[in-house]
Every structure is written in C-alpha cells, then in structure tokens.
Amino acid sequence: MERTFIKDLKSKTGSEASISGWVDVRRDQGKMVFFDFRDGFGKVQCVVLPNSPAIALAKEIRPEWVLKIEGKVNARPEKNINAGILNGDIELEVLNIEVLNKSETPPFEINIDTMPVGEEARMKYRYLDLRTERMQKNIRMRDKVITFFREYMHKNDFVEIETPMLMKGTPEGSREYIVPARLFPGHFYALPQSPQQFKQLSMVAGFERYFQIARCMRDEDTRGDRQPEFTQLDFEMSFVKQENVLAYTEKMFIELVGTLYPEKKISETPFPRLTYKEAMEKYGTDKPDLREDKNNPNELAFAWILDFPMFEKNDEGEIQAAHHPFCSIKPEDKEKFMKGEDLFNIRANSYDLVLNGYELSSGSIRIHERTEQKQVFDLLGISEEEQQRKFGHMLEAFTYGAPPHGGFAPGIDRIVMILQNEPNIREVIAFPKTGEGRDLMMNAPSEVSEKQLKELGIKIDRK
C-alpha cells in the first residue's frame, strides 16, 4: 500500500491506509492500546483493538519509535469528536505495525513545549527539539515568510543573485571571520558581514534590481540575542530615491502580514516616520517601541527612523562610519561634508525600519560617484594606500557609469521571531549557536589536525 501523509488521512475514511512516522504519546488501556502518531505533516490517534494482529507489538512500542502502520481509517463516534484539530474526527484502527527503527528514551519530552527545558540539552539534541510542535511550526513558518519575500521580489522584477562567501572584508562595523587560503600561504579570505559591495556592484553591472536571501557572518562578542551568522533579505535598486525604497518596503511588509499573519494588526499605516534626532530626543533610543499595549502579541508597531548621522565615534574615540562607508550624504549637509567640517553633524541618506522596539533593517541611498566615496574614506582617515588595497575595486567601478542606487536588508530571523511571538531568534533558526557562538550539537568550533595546520602554514600559539 502506498504511504498516505497523516494530513490527508481523512480522505481515506472507510478504507485502509498506510502511514509512516513517529510514536507520539502512548496510552495503554488494559486490553487496548491507544497512541498518537505523527509524521512531518500531522498527527492522528491510533487504536489497537484486543483482537488486532498488531496488539502484542503495540504493547512494546515506545515514544519516538519509527513505525510503518497499516490500518483502517474510521470516523469517530459523535461523542469522541475533537472539533477544531486535525483528524479530530477520525482515528486509525491499527491492523499491522512494522518497526522501522527504535528510539532511546529522549533526554526531554517531545510531545510538550520544550521552552522550559535547559537550553544546553535543547541545543545538543537539536534534531529532537526540532521534532516538537512549536519548533516545527516556527521553522515551517520561516520557510513561508522567505517564500513570500522571494515571490514578492520576483513579481517586482528583482533577480536573485548569489554572491561569494569567500571574499575580502566588507565593513559593517563588526569583526570579520577569516578563512586561510591554502594556495596562498599567509593570505586569507573574509566571510561576508553582508553582500553590501556585491549588491552595489550588481547595480554597476546593470541588473537594476537585485535581491538575495543572504547569510551574513559577524564575529561579535557575546551581545544579547545575536548569532554569528544570520539571514537578511538583502536588496538593492537602481535609479531610486529614498522614498521609493521606503514605499516598496512598506507595501511588502503590509502584504506579508496580511497574507501570512492576518490575526495581527499593524498599529499605524503609513508607518510613522521620525528622524534619528527626533527619536533620540523623544524616546532616548533609535528603536522605540511604539506599541500601545506591549503585552498584545498581535500588535505590530512599525516605524521609520530617518537621517542617521554619517559618522560616529567608536569606544576608543576614533571616527567611524555610523552605518557603513557607502551611504550617501544628505544634500543639505553636502557642503560640510566636502569641506570636512562638523563631521558628527553630517547626516546620511540612511534609514532604519523598527518594529516593536527592534531594529528590523538598515539601508541607505548609496554613493555612486568616485570623488564622494573617496571623501568618505579620507574623512575616516583611511590612507590612500589602504583605500586602494581595500576598496580600489569600488572606487574604480564608480568610474564606469555607476547608476544612482540604494537598498535595504531586513533581518529575517528577527522578523520571524516577532511574527511567531518568540522571545529570541534561536527559536526560529533551525540550527543556531549559543550566545558564545558554539554549536553544541556538532561541538564547533573545534581544533583541526596538525596536518591541516601544516598545509595552511599556520602555527597555533597556545597561550
């Protein structure tokens, strides 16, 4: 008999069916055995009657065993109907059980929410944690959100372009991960902190509308709910003004919520707009939480924060780009910028989207002229030699007909976290790392063999 997915069992009511999956909860009731059985797409109650040829085996099975079951799909008697849940009105009368694999007793219960379980155990046995209903939902909804974005982008003439993982650093204000290049001893690739430079170069290349579900890697010290790698909906558009990017993004988010989360309400449309200065003065933060009722999981308070400063001081008091060095300057501040005056009051054409107190995304209209880009590097105190070495390709690309362009990069983990009402992004990432950047399941990072180190020409200083 061909396998039926449990979600489709109802259509077989009155006939026989074969299902495969895992034993969920088991209830031995003397002569009969009841158990819930699940596959990737649903659950159903199974009944093994005292006279079933499968009864002896049914008494042996334990939670998480993998079975192939054949049986008869019966409508439940009226009084046993469990309205409102999948297969609440049918059950499978088991005629045959084939054990495909047994299971050890799991380190935590899988048929209840694992939120209260210690995170170490959940991470070490992530493949078990992911079997739970909440985690399955989170990961499947994440896929739906990503699919929505992909389709939305494609409908609007964007093309998805994969950009390299092995590259030279792109400054996004964090430390980068580096990868030794075996064929060039002493040389390293950097993993992308974002595809920023490639997306801009895709504009120079004439694609006009680029997007990518992009993995970004940043080597940050443990700081709140961060992950060393995360995912952005990275996009870039040519011949646009800030207003175009904002309008495009706003429409996309309204449609996302309406399509996938109709139970949620956006507090205000068009999304309220504040300048960075106004937000700081009024709320003391550039990611204000504008919800009326902060305990209402269905309230979504989006807001735009505009006109961020171009430059800021880092902890050592040195000047750095507040967002990244590719943002263009507001026309009103262009003169100061070209003269190199009053640097910390120069504003960029840059914008953030915040939601319920989280920064969802940053973006800007970019520089597309060489002189202006060089001026940013000069003001950042980057020497001529370093400019050439690090960003020579950008400066050169801008001399070959670079169009005006701008973009944005909403963080997918955060969006899904908020929409799924989860307290942190680890709940919506299939295989996340701990706060210290460790993968407890694979035990990464780990040491490499002497042979590998030798090939790479690397010596470890074990101090």
Residues comprising the binding site for ATP? 218-220, 227, 359, 411-414
SS3 362: strand
Report yes or no: 366 and 398 within 8 Å, Cβ to Cβ. Answer: no
Q: How far is the CB of 347 from ligand ASP (least distance, A)?
A: 15
Report yes or no: 326 and 171 within 8 Å, Cβ to Cβ. Answer: no
State how far the Cα of 442 lies from the Cα of 446, in Å rounded to an integer: 9
Determine how β-strand 302-306 pairs with β-strand 273-275. parallel
Cβ-based neighbours of 116, under 8 Å, separated by 6 or more:
none
The distance of Cα 165 from the centroid of its chain, to the nearest Å, equals 17
Which tokens go with 222? 């443990």
Q: Does 194 bind ligand ASP (CB under 6 A)?
A: yes
Q: Does 407 bind ligand ASP (CB under 6 A)?
A: yes
Q: Does 228 bind ligand ASP (CB under 6 A)?
A: no
Q: Does 261 bind ligand ASP (CB under 6 A)?
A: no
Binding mask 376-405 for ligand ASP (x = CB under 6 A): ------------------------------
Which residue numbers belong to the known binding site? 172, 218-220, 227, 323, 359, 366, 411-414
Q: How far is the CB of 327 from ligand ASP (least distance, A)?
A: 7
Q: How far is the CB of 328 from ligand ASP (least distance, A)?
A: 11
Residues 341-380 that bind ligand ASP (CB under 6 A): 362-364
State how far the Cα of 463 lies from the Cα of 453, in Å rounded to an integer: 17
Which tokens go with 333? 């501040």
Burial class (CB in 10 A: 0-12, 13-18, 19+), 275: middle
Q: How far is the CB of 409 from ligand ASP (least distance, A)?
A: 4
Residue number, 194 or 242, with CB nearest to ligand ASP: 194
Residues 155-174 that bind ligand ASP (CB under 6 A): 172
Residue number, 160 or 172, with CB nearest to ligand ASP: 172
Residue number, 163 or 196, with CB nearest to ligand ASP: 196
Q: Does an H or E element contain 250, and which?
A: helix 242-260
Q: How far is the CB of 4 from ligand ASP (least distance, A)?
A: 45
Q: How far is the CB of 226 from ligand ASP (least distance, A)?
A: 13
Which residue numbers belong to the known binding site for L-aspartate? 172, 218, 323, 366
Report yes or no: 394 and 400 within 8 Å, Cβ to Cβ. Answer: no
Return the ∠ at Cα 114 (arms to 111 and 120), rounded to 5°.
Answer: 130
Q: Does 229 bind ligand ASP (CB under 6 A)?
A: no
Q: Does 196 bind ligand ASP (CB under 6 A)?
A: yes
Burial class (CB in 10 A: 0-12, 13-18, 19+), 16: middle
Which of 81-89, 95-103, 305-313, 407-415 is the region at the interface with ligand ASP (rule: CB under 6 A)? 407-415
CA within 13 Å, CB half, 430:
9
Q: Does 409 bind ligand ASP (CB under 6 A)?
A: yes
- In the complex, which residues of this chain contact ligand ASP (CB under 6 A)? 172, 194, 196, 362-364, 407-409
